[in-house]
Structure 1
Amino acid sequence: MVNYIELDQALALSRNSIKENYSEYINSSFVSMLSLLNFDKYFVKAQGMSVWDSDGNEYYDFLGGYGALNLGHNPPEVIEAIDKVKGMPNILQAAIANLPGVLAYNLAQITPGNLKRSFFCNSGAEAVEGALKLAKIASGKSKIVYCEGSFHGKSAGALSVTGREKYQKPFLPLVPNCESVPYGDLNVLEDKLKARDVAAFIVEPIQGEGGIIVPPEGYLKGVRELCTRYDAYMIADEVQTGFGRTGTMFACEREEVVPDIMCVAKSLGGGVMPVGAYITTDEIWKKAYGTMDRALLHTSTFGGNTWAMAAGIAAIKSIVDRDLPTRAQKMGNYLLERLNAIKEKHSLIKDVRGRGLMVGIEFNQPEGFINKLSGGLLGKLSYEYLGSLVAAQLQNDYHIITAYTLNNPNVIRLEPPLIVEEKHIDAVVDAIDGILEKNGSFLGITLKSTKTVIGSLFRK
């Protein structure tokens, strides 16, 4: 007899049992990592900007699913859309379903220029994989150029164009003919493209995991011109920046740029269903898959399933009807204004940057006698852990959820749902101000976090 756990039993498990199951059957190191800084809360309810833990405490979510929760947690309009299709076939590959064509039509209406043909999958990494394959088959070329500091996913193809050695090195060799250039440097990019042997250049309009890096003014427009001149496709990775996050529906629209291929995901599913997609022009799609012998060269079992498509249709309608890009611009300006004000007070803050509600706070590295005395160790620790230590204090002491950026762990990201209000922004800025006021330095923050770690160890 199988000794399984039923859903009702799972929902009633204690916090310790949840940790034990995750540690034993999924990832013990991850559990240990979260436990050290008391990050291992058990959250039981979520709505809008807030989540609640098993002790009834409310937290403001300023991480926002890395850009997946533009509508907030459990948006009722998306849940209602899924309820309407519950009786329909969800996965039926031997037929043409209604909703994928509708969502593709709607995407074509809100994306820039002549982007028209969509392919649906389940995540941003899958969208990138599909876009890279599309560029290769349509162009007949194999070389891909990407940016240092970029992040496009951790599957093999997406990882091959992700610009951090830490994630690439353990899995070498990756997909060949992928070459990097500095982000924001048009001259180096042109040197790479001149031979006309590049299938595509993939770029984030704003680098998310790179540390919320905004490129120089005119960079994307320059990229567009170079790709056109040297016959390379421009792939815009809007997985994190899309659907209003940066103050326009898509970040590339700020410079009136129309890419050849655009990758989207995260908030396309309304924060409820996993939905990814790439969208491209009719011309490129026909070159790649426009014949019957090529029509099924790239497919996805769950891509285009009914529940996911219903969520996507409802999410786009909600974002457009509520004009959330404009709201993101307004609230983002308020957030940056408040953060820049506290930056003047605290020397530990090196930079505040971003656009709309995609904002990063970078911290200064320790200098002077104490760092030298430690042989530079304090500086190394600061770079790798300061972001996580600040995030831990924000969550444990102020009930605000955020995280550091993967390629630059010295940067705290603030990517709240686009429904955020001024009271939520005031709370997070006041919390950061309070942490820096009380601790003042990396050493102070470390000592405070050390107490948390020691407490966690004693609780085990």
Structure 2
Amino acid sequence: MATVTNKSLKEELVELDKKHFIHPSSSMKQIEEQGPGFIFTEGEGIYLKDVEGRKLIDSLSSLWNVNIGHGRTEIGEVAKEQINKLAFTSTFNTWSHEPIIRLAAEIAKWTPGDLNATFFTSGGSEANDTAFKTVRHYWKVKGMPEKKKIISRKLSYHGVAMGATSATGIEQFRTFTTSLAPDFHYVDSTPEALKEMIEKEGADTIAAFISEPIQGSGGVNLPPEGYFQEIRKICDENDILFISDEVICGFGRTGKNFGIEHFGVTPDIITMAKGVTSGYAPLGGMIISERLHKELTEKTDGNFWHGYTYSGHPMAAAVAMKNLEIIKNENLIEHVQTVGKQMLEGFEWIKEQNDNVIDVRGIGLLGGISIERATDADPIGPKIVAEALKKGLICRSVVYEGQDTLAFAPPFPITKEQMDDMINIVNESIKAVK
């Protein structure tokens, strides 16, 4: 029998990938010409290993989501146990099951204020689409169907479903399609910009304002001082619901349960995904306040006409419960605060070493480094990413709207020594490209 070598396996997989797999957010031409950049086979802690045996630090937790780190076998055991017991059942038409009930109750212990009721989805895009439909339904049953517009911030990212795409404040995602959903508007990140939009459109036409506590894909942008306190006040004064998109920030990423808690306000709705399962199963959701839940229950005649096949998947719920248990039992949020401080100090050190680093920022294990471009048409970030890759580090550059930013969100269990390795590789890579 012929032995399958890593080289022959890679060659086979590359050809199959090029022919049959359409990659998300990737260059189709690049895939056709070069094949996939990585074919990963294993993960452990903060590391990924590819088909060629290369071991790489995953400094973005893949897609900001592998919070507890790769290779947690206890998650697999829980998933297997649940699949063997009850692989799937619908939650439509009043049906339910224990894993999703337990998870909904557990999430209510994590959320701020009175956000205690969750509608489950398969991911973040669906969570935000659900929120948009729900707030419009809410105003409709209250006798104000004209309140349907959604306002978001420029450079925000809310997903790629039709509503989520239409809410996203990064232009490249919107211009991908030839038609967007109506009634979405975008404002600069100032309270004055929101006030101006309300005056222009009319408060009686606006259903909700949505924002990430810290913008992720838009460049790891922290809000201006006092921003969300003013936004909460403006929303209250104008009878506008406030949605906090916690898909990236939720479940400990920023050093608190939810990112919005850093700013001393409570939203009406939280949308979540990623960190609830640390990527071990697809799951998302919309969490609403008791007030909204009560009003919707009292005023909605008939069904809540919205749902996904996997709204409340038993295995995903069991995985989420185990993931949240790990975060609590291993005190990972407290650890995020400690190593997050180390990461930011490391970024400050990098800035001191490199005069082309113009800004660094971070909160918990969510951080960014902004690089000065040589020219407007020549971002340096992608070259730094390529250099870091040679040195064993996977990181991401953000170049939207003239930015040149390196984004970081390593897995929660990263050690002090591993953080030092990451910082040193980033510094060496910036110097090499410079």
TM-score, length of structure 1 as denominator length = 0.85
Percent identity over the alignment is 28
How well do the aligned residues superpose, as a CA RMSD in angstroms? 2.3
Q: What residue number does 1:131 align with?
A: 131
Q: What residue number does 1:63 align with?
A: 60
Uncovered stretches (5+) of structure 2, i.e. residues with no partner: 141-146
When structure 1 is superposed on structure 2, of 71-80 and 404-413 the one drifting more is 404-413
Q: Tell me the distance in 2 between the aligned counterparts of 1:76 and 1:96.
A: 28
Give the C-alpha shift of residue 296 in structure 1.
3.6
Change (3 A) 1:432 1:108: same
Q: What residue number does 1:4 align with?
A: none
Pairs aligned (count)? 415
Give the C-alpha shift of residue 412 in structure 1.
1.1
Q: Tell me the distance in 2 between the aligned counterparts of 1:407 and 1:115.
A: 33
Q: What residue number does 2:259 align with?
A: 251
* 1:88 to 2:81 alignment: no
Give the C-alpha shift of residue 186 in structure 1.
0.6
Q: What residue number does 2:104 align with?
A: 104
Give the C-alpha shift of residue 31 in structure 1.
6.4
* 1:182 to 2:177 alignment: no
Q: Tell me the distance in 1 between the aligned counterparts of 2:32 and 2:409.
A: 24
* 1:165 to 2:160 alignment: no
Q: What residue number does 2:143 align with?
A: none
CA deviation profile, 1:202-240 (whole Å, cap 9, x unmatched): 001001111110011221122111111110000000000
Give the C-alpha shift of residue 432 in structure 1.
1.9
Q: What residue number does 2:397 align with?
A: 404
Give the C-alpha shift of residue 283 in structure 1.
2.5
TM-score, length of structure 2 as denominator length = 0.90
Change (3 A) 1:166 1:84: same
Q: What residue number does 2:148 align with?
A: 142
Give the C-alpha shift of residue 320 in structure 1.
2.0
Change (3 A) 1:221 1:309: same
Q: Which residue identity does 1:317 align to in structure 2?
A: E
Q: Tell me the distance in 2 between the aligned counterparts of 1:293 and 1:287.
A: 12
Give the C-alpha shift of residue 37 in structure 1.
9.2
Q: What residue number does 1:205 align with?
A: 213
Q: Tell me the distance in 2 between the aligned counterparts of 1:31 and 1:170.
A: 14
Q: What residue number does 1:5 align with?
A: none
* 1:26 to 2:26 alignment: no
CA deviation profile, 1:291-345 (whole Å, cap 9, x unmatched): 6744341111012111000011111111122222221111111111112112112
Q: What residue number does 1:270 align with?
A: 278
* 1:51 to 2:45 alignment: no
CA deviation profile, 1:70-114 (whole Å, cap 9, x unmatched): 101132332222122122232222632111111111111110000
Corresponding residue SS for 1:137? helix
CA deviation profile, 1:350-400 (whole Å, cap 9, x unmatched): 21112111011111011xxxxxxxxxxx43122xxx2222112111x2111
Q: What residue number does 2:384 align with?
A: 390
Residues 427-442 of structure 1 aligned to structure 2 (within 5 Å):
427-440=421-434
Q: Tell me the distance in 1 between the aligned counterparts of 2:411 and 2:331.
A: 13
CA deviation profile, 1:251-286 (whole Å, cap 9, x unmatched): 111122111000000011232100101100133134
Give the C-alpha shift of residue 34 in structure 1.
6.5
Q: Tell me the distance in 2 between the aligned counterparts of 1:123 and 1:154.
A: 11
Kept in 2: contact 1:203–1:236 (CA 8 A): yes
Find the partner of 1:321 among 315, 320, 329: 329
Q: Which residue identity does 2:378 align to in structure 1?
A: L
Uncovered stretches (5+) of structure 1, i.e. residues with no partner: 1-8, 367-377, 441-460
Q: What residue number does 2:144 align with?
A: none
* 1:76 to 2:76 alignment: no
Q: Tell me the distance in 1 between the aligned counterparts of 2:165 and 2:333.
A: 30
Kept in 2: contact 1:71–1:271 (CA 8 A): no
